[in-house]
Structure 1
């Protein structure tokens, strides 16, 4: 990883400054992140979420000297970590096997002999880099660099005590130093952003050319590194590329050459980097149109071959495969594609000769790439994941899963590997068996039982609010601009141009298979029936005393925003559960919000449901930024009166923040946490049914929790459920997520049904499943639960999708105070009073006496004036 001339110091909470977009930063390829004990957890997530979009230079020198924290930063994708001398000694432990070229030593920049000696000893004969922070004396550091050497040495990174001048920066880049500059001081458009430093000028400053015209040889490649062609660049064309985000080069005859301006074969700039001698550039681009070459081929070296060519072909077939063709069948029949991948994998494993291995590997790659293309995954995405895995420094044993290892002779080991505790924050070591911890209620105290039933710990409110509050503020202040910037960054869709899709929605966005459409339509009708039955047929009218009539009537909340989660699973079912009751209630404005896919599109199921329920817009955004847009409104997003729908911790925190802001005047449905289920099972329960119900919630996310309350089950019966749980889990595609959830899930064995319901009511589950004898009669024992599923033929999944009840339910114990979403969630009740002459006579004295007690004389007089008027009239 060659060090670039410019690295932007980036605030990963606030959006980029006006002078520099997130896209521009990604073109530079490197960003600098300063880690503190306070933002450590947040930074880990940010690096992991954005790996592949940036190389990360991470300053961890202010962290405690803890090798595990530094290991975690490297493990999640930090390209290079800046350390103190004490930290460096820890990371150079041979047991950790961390290469020096991923480590950088932070040194003092003053004329301190001790620090210089320590530095020289640390870097002698290694590839260790150097970081000199807060430089004030540019000339001294430049002289030191000339003494240290400018060629064939480890990289040197420099940050500044105050905003440097361009000349200061040029002084250092000329001696091959990389400068770290806060993104707030940078721009790709210096003509309009006066006072900011030009990214193009800084980046180009170390470039060298031995040509008479001063141009730089430039290799243009695609995201797989395949050469598309050879061109030339100038400092001006580099600056223009960074400014426009496209391929702009220097024609030797015509000046600036905006690639594809006339032919339509444009290029989207991914990144720019330069070679080790700073005399050749490489532009990585996404080529549009017919190809790079003027002969309308993808490359100037002829047609594409290999995996890149196969990807282009499959993408074309996905869009327009002839009906009945084999490739069309593969795209439309996931079961067939899965079977072919498994078949070809087995044939590759059985292949013996070199030719057979190559033949079977090609078949497997074809079907694997078909799976990728169907899911919107490119070869570049796969390569990014390979790169991420190559950076991991936490080692694990890596045995095969049991269903693949069974029946194979285990390899003998000369020395068994000793188990070790993983460092804090590192991925948990995976045991071979997926099983829940088991407790006997009769053997533990009430306090211990409460501890056993604790939900998985969530991020501290301070950490979450430190992320959420700046996002809300930015969206409230900058509207669509901030919403788009956050969506491009967090949802990884840099091509997105607008965050709002308005009705009517084109049919092309609602292309569904007949089976999926029928399933949605059936679920829609059942949810509609159940929620329509909840309508109040007429106002409540009560005469509280002669002549005093009180009434209560309902009106729909006019504008509602419905949040449909994305993330590890797309949930069109949530769109149904939130959208149908809003339609039944008669809400005038219904707005969906859901994270877009990486290509900027939304899943067709959600668009179809939005069409069915009459949603006027879909906000293509997730997280706190979507909540803020709904709460305050933007230029494109309508402001709503109530926000409903589940989400992660950041969504929940944002909902709580805006609901407490009088400037938003918006309410929410309920606070929420990760999904959960509690199953009460006795001796009549089918172990396979019990295990399947537990797993149906465990697959939601690693922070989900499932609880089994086993009523007087024997060891053999508990073992049968455990065996089913493991066997079913191992067959699931989301087995790693399930394993994470089961790690903090529990079985509690109780002696009686009475004790089972006592424990359940303490826990207050989101979903409560009763797999017990006489389950229907036991429902009266339920005090706290979001929704109850009664008997062996009622899996929780019917409630999630199609039975008719709502699946948007209180979690994390909030079932003690909140109901799940229902028709009443979308209406408000207004009361009225109507008194006759007789009624005011009967009521007036009591009202005046109470008003006098409270000292509110105007209240008393409002009644007295009327009573006096009556007497005078009579």
Structure 2
């Protein structure tokens, strides 16, 4: 680093001198002069706050936010701000007499000191430097009348200190009795181990992340000219001064000159013009550029000469297309899972983002300068998402997985918003067995991969409890919380909702409770299997249940009702509702109100795998539960599958889960608008939603009418972007008869089955596999989702073959009992003993025979 720092003087108007000083290091600027127009914009600045300044603590942070590298504070002000500002941004202003008054706390809270002294005593300053070991020490002589000698600068540097020189004592002219040449001061401490006295000099590109361009040599004369002119000037070992580009035109603008840590080599950071630095007309003597620098050069070239019709030319000439690609790639990066996928998607995003920058005349160097400026800020933004993105986001840990990308990124074509939103059509009669099986397939869920990803999260919560839960909530739900659990009574202000919403929730609650109350198994089953042998079965509630309600920014009181009401009806002793918090750390008042209605004993403000882990193992604040219910994304599903197989957790789950799905069977009596609306009600859930229309002997015109309604209705709905993708992946399966359609549906086993048939009630008897059935044209799936009374937590991904939807019995367990009389044992006992002997279990047989012997002896 430089052996001196210049102190800006108000009387200095020499812009050439100030420009030269900006090239070799920071400029110390008194606070009263910090806004002076004379200071070069590219100059690094240390702002010196004098002891007499009225500046308060609140005024220091803005100085740093506005771009100052450091602020130099008197002891009285530093005491109040240490701990608020990072130590590396603070220097302490001291009189030489007050050095011993600095406490260890003050000394550790700053990165160095600036000592004002009436005279420069190198030995004394050396002892001060040892007192501040590990910190930078700067020395400012008070009212110097003449410039320091180079030996003084060198001596102070040897003592580990930096001399501060007022700019009025510096010049670009040769050193004399009144002023010191800037280069002489800068190079006062440099040494050379070469016989010719030259200094090895590394030249790097300021516009390419300081990429090395080449190695040259400098002399005091060449450095002096570079500092003064701002041009690349070096020392040729054969030809003397070498003014770079003087004959070739490949000139350099010098941005910064630095000494290395041993003061025996230099680094020039430059903006290279022309063909490049190397004599072979290449940017660097060390080969071609790569990575972002190479991409920037390519894009700049394409901006000037890309052929008409090329993709890059389209991007430059169509701002809307480019904006769409940036948003598309940003979304795909957010959805990426593996390291390879993240790298792949980030590369795509950087390509399109840099294209946008180049089109606007912005280069990588401009971006880096902006980053550096932002890094200097002490005060930080809250970091909250803007409303338009918050509304689109989910508070789940991650989105659906993506297939492994190919090795070479190919720009995807832009989405044609004018293209029809339509499904793919297949004729079941023409499909081979293999093709029919393919129509029944869902996307492959890589359960093993997802379980491996959630295991570290689950293990962290199991091991560290609440501490891990708070950290993971901050990381994944992006909310800083002091506590994650709310217990009743819930504050009234957290449940303030519109009257019509409250009435709707109340009505839904009544319907759902009525239906689930009827399901409750309250009577004991008693059967006498043979005389004197009475077997019984009775139901008991699962004591502690956890209900996962997806959300965060979404509002899902319906799921809270669907899970909470059967738990309440079953008589579960403890109902813990888990849901991701909103950006402000709260839970939506609608969900809070539903939680109160269902009698939640605790609300866990967390989502994703961390919430599942907290429910499964319990923490100091989160009650452990015996069974976990509720839908969620793949992270939630994987965590549920993991904990149910962990013997330490001893927890069950309701069912596996996958993307939401619907299968609609429609015949000639269907209303195309109704059918389209039912298809779209599932297609809007997500791009991975599974939507199937089974058309029973529908004419081409009837099918076309349904497709026209799908397209028209989708375009009028707010989630059209999602539906554009999900509908494109959805299928129409043409069949000849209702029986054929129902057979296909039973093989598919949909979550939701909607019957738009002439005799819809009559067709229900043939339904073997489905989560829930919606019968007739006026039974939209939405009714079951919200308020008809049935439960909307249903098996997906074909699991309707094995699982029921959530119901009251899901929250109960059944215990059996048997009572055998003496007479009953006489008839049953020999049967049992014979079977026990057959299996070689003598103790079992003995338990019966010893009783039979007692009865025979009585």
TM range (shorter): 0.5 to 0.7
Q: 1:759 to 1:503 in 2, by over 3 A?
A: same
Deviation at 1:858, TM superposition (A): 1.1
Instruction: Confirm or deny: 8 A CA contact 2:462 2:614 kept in the other structure.
Output: yes
Q: 1:521 to 1:841 in 2, by over 3 A?
A: same
- Structure 1 match to 2:632: 647
Q: What is the TM-score when the length of structure 1 is the normalising length?
A: 0.55
Q: What does 1:42-191 align with in structure 2 at a 5 Å threshold?
A: 127-128=208-209, 149=267, 151=269
Give me the whole-angstrom Cα distance separating, in 1, the residues matched to 2:700 and 2:431: 18
Q: What does 1:411-426 align with in structure 2 at a 5 Å threshold?
A: 423=409
Instruction: Confirm or deny: 8 A CA contact 1:678 1:708 kept in the other structure.
Output: yes
- Structure 1 match to 2:484: 499
- Structure 2 match to 1:520: 505
- Structure 2 match to 1:621: 606
Instruction: Confirm or deny: 8 A CA contact 1:594 1:619 kept in the other structure.
Output: yes
Give me the whole-angstrom Cα distance separating, in 1, the residues matched to 2:627 and 2:412: 39
Q: Could you give the per-residue CA deviations for residues 420-439 of structure 1, whole angstroms, max 9, x where no partner exists?
A: x9958979734522111111
Give me the whole-angstrom Cα distance separating, in 1, the residues matched to 2:392 and 2:816: 60
Deviation at 1:642, TM superposition (A): 0.3
Structure 2: state its 5+ residue gaps.
1-41, 45-82, 88-201, 213-258, 273-367, 394-406
Deviation at 1:446, TM superposition (A): 2.1
Q: What does 1:541-690 align with in structure 2 at a 5 Å threshold?
A: 541-566=526-551, 569-690=554-675
Deviation at 1:281, TM superposition (A): 3.5
- Structure 1 match to 2:421: 434
Question: Secondary structure of the equivalent of 1:542?
Answer: strand
Q: 1:614 to 1:623 in 2, by over 3 A?
A: same
Compare CA radii of gyration and give the structure with the larger one: 2
**Residue range with higher mean Cα deviation, 745-754 or 564-573:** 564-573
Q: Could you give the per-residue CA deviations for residues 729-774 of structure 1, whole angstroms, max 9, x where no partner exists?
A: 1111111111221122111111111110111011100000000110
Give me the whole-angstrom Cα distance separating, in 2, the residues matched to 1:797 and 1:279: 48
Q: 1:696 to 1:142 in 2, by over 3 A?
A: farther
Q: 1:841 to 1:384 in 2, by over 3 A?
A: closer
- Structure 1 match to 2:379: 284
Q: What is the TM-score when the length of structure 2 is the normalising length?
A: 0.56
Q: 1:147 to 1:776 in 2, by over 3 A?
A: farther
Deviation at 1:485, TM superposition (A): 0.9
- Structure 2 match to 1:487: 473
- Structure 2 match to 1:466: 452
- Structure 1 match to 2:443: 456
- Structure 1 match to 2:689: 704
Q: 1:277 to 1:689 in 2, by over 3 A?
A: closer
1:855 equivalenced with 2:840 (yes/no): yes
- Structure 1 match to 2:463: 477
Q: 1:146 to 1:826 in 2, by over 3 A?
A: farther
Q: What does 1:757-796 align with in structure 2 at a 5 Å threshold?
A: 757-796=742-781
Deviation at 1:643, TM superposition (A): 0.2
Deviation at 1:463, TM superposition (A): 3.3
1:797 equivalenced with 2:782 (yes/no): yes
Give me the whole-angstrom Cα distance separating, in 1, the residues matched to 2:374 and 2:748: 66
Deviation at 1:556, TM superposition (A): 0.3
Give me the whole-angstrom Cα distance separating, in 2, the residues matched to 1:608 and 1:793: 30
Give me the whole-angstrom Cα distance separating, in 1, the residues matched to 2:375 and 2:538: 75
Q: 1:868 to 1:425 in 2, by over 3 A?
A: farther
1:731 equivalenced with 2:731 (yes/no): no
- Structure 2 match to 1:744: 729
Q: 1:857 to 1:786 in 2, by over 3 A?
A: same
1:693 equivalenced with 2:673 (yes/no): no
Give me the whole-angstrom Cα distance separating, in 2, the residues matched to 1:662 and 1:504: 34
Q: 1:142 to 1:730 in 2, by over 3 A?
A: farther
Instruction: Confirm or deny: 8 A CA contact 2:512 2:787 kept in the other structure.
Output: yes
Question: Secondary structure of the equivalent of 2:376?
Answer: strand
Deviation at 1:128, TM superposition (A): 4.7
Question: Secondary structure of the equivalent of 1:812?
Answer: coil
Q: What does 1:25-424 align with in structure 2 at a 5 Å threshold?
A: 127-128=208-209, 149=267, 151=269, 281-285=376-380, 378=386, 423=409
Structure 1: state its 5+ residue gaps.
5-23, 29-119, 132-140, 155-272, 289-375, 386-420
Give me the whole-angstrom Cα distance separating, in 1, the residues matched to 2:764 and 2:386: 50
Give me the whole-angstrom Cα distance separating, in 1, the residues matched to 2:757 and 2:718: 30
1:719 equivalenced with 2:837 (yes/no): no
Give me the whole-angstrom Cα distance separating, in 1, the residues matched to 2:852 and 2:842: 15
Give me the whole-angstrom Cα distance separating, in 2, the residues matched to 1:740 and 1:145: 62
Give me the whole-angstrom Cα distance separating, in 1, the residues matched to 2:392 and 2:809: 47
Question: Secondary structure of the equivalent of 1:285?
Answer: coil
Deviation at 1:503, TM superposition (A): 1.1
Deviation at 1:512, TM superposition (A): 0.4
Instruction: Confirm or deny: 8 A CA contact 2:390 2:553 kept in the other structure.
Output: no
Instruction: Confirm or deny: 8 A CA contact 1:275 1:281 kept in the other structure.
Output: no
Instruction: Confirm or deny: 8 A CA contact 1:761 1:783 kept in the other structure.
Output: yes
Q: Could you give the per-residue CA deviations for residues 75-98 of structure 1, whole angstroms, max 9, x where no partner exists?
A: xxxxxxxxxxxxxxxxxxxxxxxx
Give me the whole-angstrom Cα distance separating, in 2, the residues matched to 1:818 and 1:142: 70
Question: Secondary structure of the equivalent of 1:561?
Answer: strand
Question: Secondary structure of the equivalent of 2:713?
Answer: helix
Instruction: Confirm or deny: 8 A CA contact 1:274 1:281 kept in the other structure.
Output: no
Give me the whole-angstrom Cα distance separating, in 1, the residues matched to 2:575 and 2:811: 11
Q: Could you give the per-residue CA deviations for residues 47-71 of structure 1, whole angstroms, max 9, x where no partner exists?
A: xxxxxxxxxxxxxxxxxxxxxxxxx
Give me the whole-angstrom Cα distance separating, in 1, the residues matched to 2:683 and 2:377: 46
Q: 1:278 to 1:757 in 2, by over 3 A?
A: closer
Q: 1:493 to 1:863 in 2, by over 3 A?
A: same
Aligned length: 507
Q: Could you give the per-residue CA deviations for residues 415-464 of structure 1, whole angstroms, max 9, x where no partner exists?
A: xxxxxx99589797345221111111112112112212322344x33432
Give me the whole-angstrom Cα distance separating, in 1, the residues matched to 2:726 and 2:652: 31
Among 815, 818, 823, the alignment partner of 1:838 is 823
Q: Could you give the per-residue CA deviations for residues 218-239 of structure 1, whole angstroms, max 9, x where no partner exists?
A: xxxxxxxxxxxxxxxxxxxxxx
Instruction: Confirm or deny: 8 A CA contact 2:746 2:768 kept in the other structure.
Output: yes
Question: Secondary structure of the equivalent of 1:590?
Answer: strand
Give me the whole-angstrom Cα distance separating, in 1, the residues matched to 2:717 and 2:263: 57
Give me the whole-angstrom Cα distance separating, in 1, the residues matched to 2:818 and 2:833: 17
Deviation at 1:149, TM superposition (A): 2.6
Among 825, 843, 851, the alignment partner of 1:866 is 851
Question: Secondary structure of the equivalent of 2:377?
Answer: strand
Q: Provide the aligned C-alpha RMSD in A.
A: 3.4
Q: 1:651 to 1:617 in 2, by over 3 A?
A: same
Deviation at 1:127, TM superposition (A): 2.0
Give me the whole-angstrom Cα distance separating, in 2, the residues matched to 1:380 and 1:283: 27
Give me the whole-angstrom Cα distance separating, in 1, the residues matched to 2:263 and 2:559: 60
Give me the whole-angstrom Cα distance separating, in 1, the residues matched to 2:510 and 2:603: 22
Deviation at 1:277, TM superposition (A): 8.6
Instruction: Confirm or deny: 8 A CA contact 2:553 2:583 kept in the other structure.
Output: no
Deviation at 1:654, TM superposition (A): 0.5
Deviation at 1:630, TM superposition (A): 0.1
